[in-house]
Structure 1
Amino acid sequence: MADEEVMEPSFSGVVQAAQRLKSVMRETPLVRSEPLSQITGADVWLKLETASPIGSFKIRGAANALFKSKQFQKTKYAFAASSGNHGQGVALSAHRLGGTSCIFVPENPNLVKTAKMEILGAKVVEQGAGFDEAREAALEACKSAEGAYIDDCGDPEAINGAGTVGYEIGRELDNLDYVFVPMGGGCLLAGTALAIKAVHPKTKVIGVQSAQAPAMHLSFQAKKAIESKATTHSEALSLRIPPPLNLAQVLRYVDNTELVEDDDLLRAGKSMLLQGHQLAEPGSCAGLAALWRSRESLKGKTVVLVVSGANLDEPTMRMVMDSTLLF
């Protein structure tokens, strides 16, 4: 976690993060999708985090947290636990800021994603049967090395960094009715909603989660943390219990949350590729699945779909292509 005294995310923190990130990445494209607009009847825009340097929004939070970490500035050594995109974000950010990184992953990891972390300069350590064990090992190693531990669950600076997605959207569009955001641990949703509400208070921000991992949705409905099973094939949306800070921000800024079935995430991924002309992870296409389901009520509305990442492995790509189209 970034080690300055930041108690919770803020719009000023998002604006400051946007300035910092200029040295790490360019703003990602916000493009109008003519095919998806014609098909759904809405004015559909795609915020393409797939075009970030790691093909995911995760670089935003990782880089901002590293910028703010006094310990990283002192030792130039970053640690994290990750099964994919967050690890890549920490690896590339540490490298671009003149440091090194060590990423702990659970045993039997996704080899495509671990290879990407190594390409970006990280040392990858396999340890633990699951993420919790890998995280404990990473924290212990970080303490021994006096490094900086970068956590994407519950770090205010990670949320501020993720919030630059919403900040960029809000600055580019004058009229905006709905923003649909994929929802796993809630960092992207919390930050995006915070920034959107600061610029366009009347815009509705909707989080979309897999029905096979509904913890954040159930917690939003109950207004308290609810633990739930997570059997989804989408790593980006998998969560058993929401981080307290992320949930608090989601409850504060988000208008509603929805669930979509894993099969519909796969179908949305195929439709995004073949009809939206964009390659994305199935979980990153959660907003498209939700838009299609609610298309009648969204006709004529200006809708932004945050497409949060494009780090597919070959088996997932096969599942996407073997599925049917949404429409």
Structure 2
Amino acid sequence: PPKGAESEEETPETLQKNSNKKGKAKKSKKQQKEERPPSPVIEVDNLEEFVLQPAPQGVTVKCRVTRDKKGMDRGLYPTYYLHLDNDKKVFLLAGRKRKKSKTSNYLISIDPTDLSRGGENFIGKLRSNLMGTRFTVFDNGANPDRANADWSNVRQELSAVVYETNVLGFKGPRKMTVIIPGMNADCERVPIRPRNDNDGLLMRWQNRNMDNVIELHNKAPVWNDETQSYVLNFHGRVTHASVKNFQIVHSSDPDYIVMQFGRVADDAFTMDYNYPLCAVQAFAIALSSFDGKLACE
């Protein structure tokens, strides 16, 4: 077929890959804009600082998550990569499930080639409970058992995620609760450094001790008779229906999307986040959603 006809058929994913490399025809650029508006211009000078800093207010940081199932482990331990979804495709984070761990345990790194616990690029981790229904996200500080005398190096909890067993049986979206530290007057995250598990975000939430803690939920999708599926409006950022697609909101303002995540291809997803989330929090929340345990599938 002639070139023109071919580009009509192209999916947003192929355009996404091809349209910026060699100054391709303008048409595909325009198509791409209609399909998935790219991220606003975001400068990443210091990667480590950027991924822990809340998104600037009023700016949606638009990212893309890719899943790499290649390698020896045949998809059991894929590596996930997070890039800015813009022309430059700036790399932000990589995450991988640890193998010898009783519970699901993901390491998050600012170096795509170094996903080891001891590596200096280790920036955070995601840990689940035995059931795989509750997750906690830590920065790279020390375990309280191995803390300095003044606790200055103790790890912070950046987020927690709770999945509720699905009332509708196995089909349909799961209910998610996301718990994050509150923000201070300067729009900075309040450090939460629990000295033991009873003082962490999950216990504070469970005991309704919500000082300096923010509770978010996934937006309930609406059943659509025409498509016979649950739908959320992702404004063109998500192209494949999936029970794993979600949007996170605060109950007082359900129209303000704090984070959204959804599939655009078999192993590609968009992940967009807003203030007060940072990249590590959002990426870890996305990783928790991949962890599909039967307890809440």
TM-score w.r.t. the length of structure 2 is 0.28
For the pair shown, which has the larger CA radius of gyration, 1 or 2? Answer: 2
Q: Which has the higher helix share?
A: 1
TM-score w.r.t. the length of structure 1 is 0.26
Higher relative contact order (CA 8 A, sep 6+): 1
